[in-house]
């Protein structure tokens, strides 16, 4: 084996314990990386790759980053999904015998980032722990380490729901058991683009029992213990800021699967993956980082509890009622710093004096916020004013202890205010007034000795001294002066008093800085005791910020307060799409009405492309979501039930990661909706069936609508280009036709974006192609082909429209046939179509085709 130097041997030993991480190995003022780490880091960080002698036959690849600027390099790696192990010198090099002792003091991973530079202030940074118990049962526990927020949920409906739940939050890293099957591990990476870490399901330590004392689920506690074990192993420090675990009862929140969240663009757009253009972008009028994160959490989990929703409406109503006080409140809130993450840094031990100054400034604003809230007429707002804890004792402590403008680091002094500590004042006085003391002592010595030329000087070798010319030596009293140095024409002396002053002056600054550091650490420990109160205050402030955000956008855009009903009726008068409306600015948005009830369960929407069918469908879903997070909605009037789930199939993009075609994605999303929807759900299906041939598509679309109508009863909006389907309103009593108006003008189509009763008269597909400026010769040829197709249509289709759509039961099956039936005919006759879901129908069709091929 290769024989390396002791230092490289030390590196390899530590690296062996952190194989999945970049090891930042501290050497003096640099973090160095060696071997494969160096090659990979040089590429990822775009830094120079060098080499060094490590004792072996070949030179070792090496690269490094300065210690003082390492944060940005670490951030770069972590954002790419890597882990970084920080290996520090834990021994004074002067006292080391051989190689300086080094240890990994922290493992920084995508889910355990604490440094503010690496965090988006408006985004939570979740680490999740996934524990599996059987094929259908999993517990998921979340923590945002930067704020201490923890929550857990129990999933009992299988792996698909696990993926949906993890997708619902900004999870950067998930801890799993090594026993989780490889296929599921890979789906976490492929579907969620998430960093995988491994942990063991250990028993929870007694010191954390208070965090789960109200939790009944043993599965969730198991997931929590796996999470805590991982944090202790990687962070190697106190976790005092972690809040008690909250259980997320999934059935108490509106169900939104990953498809629906993506299709509706709740927090980011589908194409650009940016906040701008999403519902969050419209609603975010928050002025604090805590409020922005709270708003996003509201969007992640809309409520099902009517009284809780109505309580939020009361806040918004009360804030809207008084514009002047609301604006005053917004101004005060702007001065509130991120209390949640300040608490995290205090507990983690990486808080600095500037952070505590921000905490002090924030606390000074709380009394003013209480005063403003007390002036509102809404009783819920007044109650919040009384509930806010200004934490006056902590504010006074910080005012008394902290300097007005402390430095960023905590080891260079000037942190603690004068008058806070008597010993520190003494050191500072010595440091600041040393020269004055020396001048006064010089005058005292001149008067005592009568030597006018006596002077006190200083040099680095001898320190302070009293210099007397040789002609005046006889004037010095006996025993007081101690000779220090002899010059050609003078002697230099010291006295006990001068020595005392010298020690005080020279050590004052060093002792002052060290004492300040110790005082700051003690102050930080004192602040630690206030974390529970600070976290409660942060939660109240963040919710208040969200409510004022709702009130502000509702007033700006003319939103109305929804009326929640229990009879299932949906009545939206002049509803608008909140995002499209904001993007259009001053351009007039065309509003539309929606009416659904027990007799109007399904709206079949026809109309040309680009006319606004998808926008109309999306706006209904967004209005429902806004209503159930407690915000007012873009409409003149909105009467809404509380929906339990929303399912969408809008847009057609191939799932390249999963290796699935557009049509298969359509079918999978449709299957998900048909499997889990209830009569209290909302289903939005846009152009289902267009990914396959015309007759296949129509058959599937009709079968889906029949299934929803007859077996589920959910409120459904279904858009289609298959005009033949509009006749279904004659068969399905609760299905109504509506269309988006469009008119021809001088050979061109004009979209009016108005929803009207009844089916569309034509599709205008060629007109849309003309709008897209396809070549004129192509447009002319398309018109000729369309005319021929329309002329031949009737002669080619001898069966009725309903027979044509009944793809799986053709009348030919019932016509005269040979006495000996084929296997295909027997199988076809045995199938009960009304009990098949669309995806099952496809599977049966495939099996029939295979059977027919065998007969041939």
- Tell me if 344 is assigned to a ligand binding site: no
Q: Identify the three-state secondary structure at position 826.
A: helix
- Tell me if 611 is assigned to a ligand binding site: yes
Which DSSP category does 203 fall into? P
Closest CA to 538 of 355, 341, 283, 315: 341
Helix (H) or strand (E) holding 735: strand 735-745
Residue position matching structure tokens 């680091």: 409
- Tell me if 66 is assigned to a ligand binding site: no
Strand partners, 655: 660
CA distances from 351 to 108, 205, 299, 524, 600 (A): 17, 27, 31, 8, 59
Report yes or no: 64 and 89 within 8 Å, Cβ to Cβ: no
- Tell me if 607 is assigned to a ligand binding site: yes
Q: Identify the three-state secondary structure at position 292.
A: helix
Q: Is 247 left (phi over 0), alpha (psi -120 to 50) or beta?
A: beta
Cβ-based neighbour number of residue 470 at 10 Å: 12
Burial of 517 (0-12, 13-18, 19+ CB in 10 A): middle
Cβ-based neighbour number of residue 319 at 10 Å: 26
Q: b vs e for 413-448, b when ≥16 Cβ sit within 10 Å of the residue's Cβ?
A: bebbbeebbeebeebbebbeebeeebeebbeebeee
Burial of 37 (0-12, 13-18, 19+ CB in 10 A): buried
Cβ-based neighbour number of residue 679 at 10 Å: 13
Report yes or no: 193 and 221 within 8 Å, Cβ to Cβ: no
- Tell me if 617 is assigned to a ligand binding site: no
- Tell me if 609 is assigned to a ligand binding site: yes
Residue position matching structure tokens 């079968």: 703
Q: How far apart are CA 373 and CA 701, in angstroms?
A: 54
Q: What share of the chain is helix, strand, coil (3-state, %, to 5)?
A: 50, 20, 35
Pairing of β 102-108 and β 60-66: unpaired
Q: How far apart are CA 753 and CA 590, in angstroms?
A: 6
Residue position matching structure tokens 């359509």: 666
Q: How far is CA 754 from the centre of its chain?
A: 37
Closest CA to 152 of 101, 214, 109: 214
Q: How far apart are CA 783 and CA 802, in angstroms?
A: 27
Sheet containing 149-155: order of strands? 195-198, 171-176, 126-132, 138-144, 149-155, 246-247
Q: How far is CA 394 from the centre of its chain?
A: 30
Report yes or no: 254 and 645 within 8 Å, Cβ to Cβ: yes
Round to the nearest angstrom and report the end-to-end CA distance of the chain: 68
Q: How far is CA 732 from the centre of its chain?
A: 44
Supply 292's token pair.
Answer: 């922005």
Give the CA diameter of the chain: 147
Q: How far is CA 562 from the centre of its chain?
A: 28
- Tell me if 512 is assigned to a ligand binding site: no
Binding site feature residues: 607-614
Binding site feature residues for ATP: 607-614
């Amino acid at each position: 084996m290769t024989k390396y130097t002791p230092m490289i041997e030390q590196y390899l030993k530590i690296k062996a314990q952190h194989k999945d991480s970049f090891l930042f190995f501290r050497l003096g003022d640099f973090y160095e990386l060696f071997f494969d780490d160096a090659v990979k880091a040089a590429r990822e960080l775009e830094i120079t790759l060098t080499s060094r002698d490590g004792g072996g036959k070949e030179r070792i690849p090496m690269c490094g980053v300065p210690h003082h600027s390492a944060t940005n390099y670490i951030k770069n790696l972590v954002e790419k999904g890597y882990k970084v192990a920080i290996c520090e010198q834990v021994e004074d090099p002067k006292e080391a015998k051989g190689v300086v002792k080094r240890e990994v003091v922290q493992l920084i991973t995508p889910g355990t980032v604490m440094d503010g530079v690496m965090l988006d202030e408006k985004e939570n940074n979740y680490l999740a722990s996934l524990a599996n118990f059987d094929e259908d049962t999993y517990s998921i526990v979340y923590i945002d380490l930067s704020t201490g927020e923890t929550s857990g949920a129990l999933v009992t409906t299988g792996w698909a729901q696990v993926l949906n739940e993890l997708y619902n939050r900004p999870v950067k890293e998930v801890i799993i058991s090594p026993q989780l099957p490889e296929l599921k591990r890979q789906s976490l990476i492929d579907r969620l683009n998430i960093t995988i870490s491994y942990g063991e399901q250990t028993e929870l330590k007694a010191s954390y029992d208070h965090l789960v004392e109200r939790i009944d689920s043993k599965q969730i506690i198991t997931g929590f213990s796996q999470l805590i074990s991982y944090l202790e192993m990687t962070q190697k420090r106190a976790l005092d800021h972690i809040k008690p675990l909250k259980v997320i009862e999934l059935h108490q929140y509106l169900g939104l699967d990953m498809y629906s969240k993506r299709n509706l663009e709740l927090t980011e757009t589908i194409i650009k993956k940016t906040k701008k253009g999403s519902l969050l972008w419209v609603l975010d009028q928050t002025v604090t980082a805590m409020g922005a994160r709270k708003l996003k959490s509201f969007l992640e989990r809309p409520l099902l509890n009517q009284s809780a929703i109505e309580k939020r409406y009361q806040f918004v109503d009360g804030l809207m009622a008084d514009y002047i006080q609301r604006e005053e409140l917004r101004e005060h809130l702007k001065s509130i710093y991120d209390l949640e993450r300040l608490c995290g840094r205090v507990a983690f031990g990486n808080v600095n004096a500037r952070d505590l100054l921000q905490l002090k400034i924030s606390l000074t604003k709380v009394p003013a916020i209480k005063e403003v809230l007390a002036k509102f007429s809404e009783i819920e707002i007044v109650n919040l004013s009384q509930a806010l804890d200004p934490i006056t004792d902590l504010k006074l402590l910080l005012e008394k202890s902290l300097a007005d403008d402390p430095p960023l680091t905590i080891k260079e002094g000037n942190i603690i205010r004068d008058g806070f500590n008597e010993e520190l004042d003494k050191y500072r006085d010595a440091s600041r007034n040393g020269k004055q003391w020396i001048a006064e002592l010089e005058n005292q010595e001149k008067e005592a000795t009568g030597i006018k030329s006596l002077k006190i000087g200083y040099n680095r070798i001898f320190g302070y001294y009293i210099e007397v010319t040789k002609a005046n030596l006889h004037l010095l009293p006996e025993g007081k002066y101690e000779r220090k140095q002899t010059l050609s024409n003078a002697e230099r002396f010291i006295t006990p008093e001068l020595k005392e002053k010298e020690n005080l002056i020279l050590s004052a600054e060093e002792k002052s800085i060290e004492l300040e550091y110790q005082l700051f650490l003690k102050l930080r420990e004192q602040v630690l005791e206030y974390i529970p109160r600070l976290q409660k205050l942060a939660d109240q402030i963040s919710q208040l910020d969200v409510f004022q955000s709702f009130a502000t956008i509702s007033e700006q855009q003319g939103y109305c307060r929804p009326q929640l009903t229990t009879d299932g009726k949906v009545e939206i008068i002049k509803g608008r799409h909140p995002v499209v409306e904001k993007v259009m600015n001053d351009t007039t948005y065309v509003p539309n009405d929606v009416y659904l009830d027990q007799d109007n369960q399904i709206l079949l929407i026809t109309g040309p492309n680009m006319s606004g069918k998808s926008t109309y469908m999306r706006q209904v879903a967004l209005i429902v979501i806004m209503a159930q997070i407690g915000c007012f909605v873009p409409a003149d009037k909105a009467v809404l039930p509380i929906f339990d789930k929303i399912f969408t199939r809008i847009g057609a993009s191939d799932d390249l990661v999963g290796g699935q075609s557009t049509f298969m994605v359509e079918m999978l999303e449709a299957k998900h909706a048909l499997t889990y929807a209830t009569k209290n759900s909302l289903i939005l299906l846009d152009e289902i069936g267009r990914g396959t041939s015309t007759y296949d598509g129509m058959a599937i679309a009709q079968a889906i609508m029949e299934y929803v109508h007859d077996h589920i009863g959910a409120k459904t909006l279904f858009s289609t280009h298959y005009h033949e389907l509009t006749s279904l309103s004659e068969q399905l009593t609760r299905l109504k036709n509506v269309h988006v108006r469009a008119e021809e003008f001088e050979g061109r189509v004009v979209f009016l974006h108005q929803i009207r009763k009844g089916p569309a008269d034509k599709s205008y597909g060629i007109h849309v192609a003309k709008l897209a400026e396809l070549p004129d010769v192509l447009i002319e040829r398309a018109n000729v082909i369309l005319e021929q197709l329309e002329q031949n249509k009737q002669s080619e289709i001898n069966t009725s429209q309903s027979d044509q759509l009944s793809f799986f039961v053709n009348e030919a099956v019932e016509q005269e046939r040979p006495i000996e039936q084929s296997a295909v005919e027997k199988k076809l006759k045995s199938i009960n179509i009304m009990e098949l879901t669309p995806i099952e129908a496809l599977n049966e069709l495939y099996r029939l085709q295979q059977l027919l091929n065998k007969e041939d």
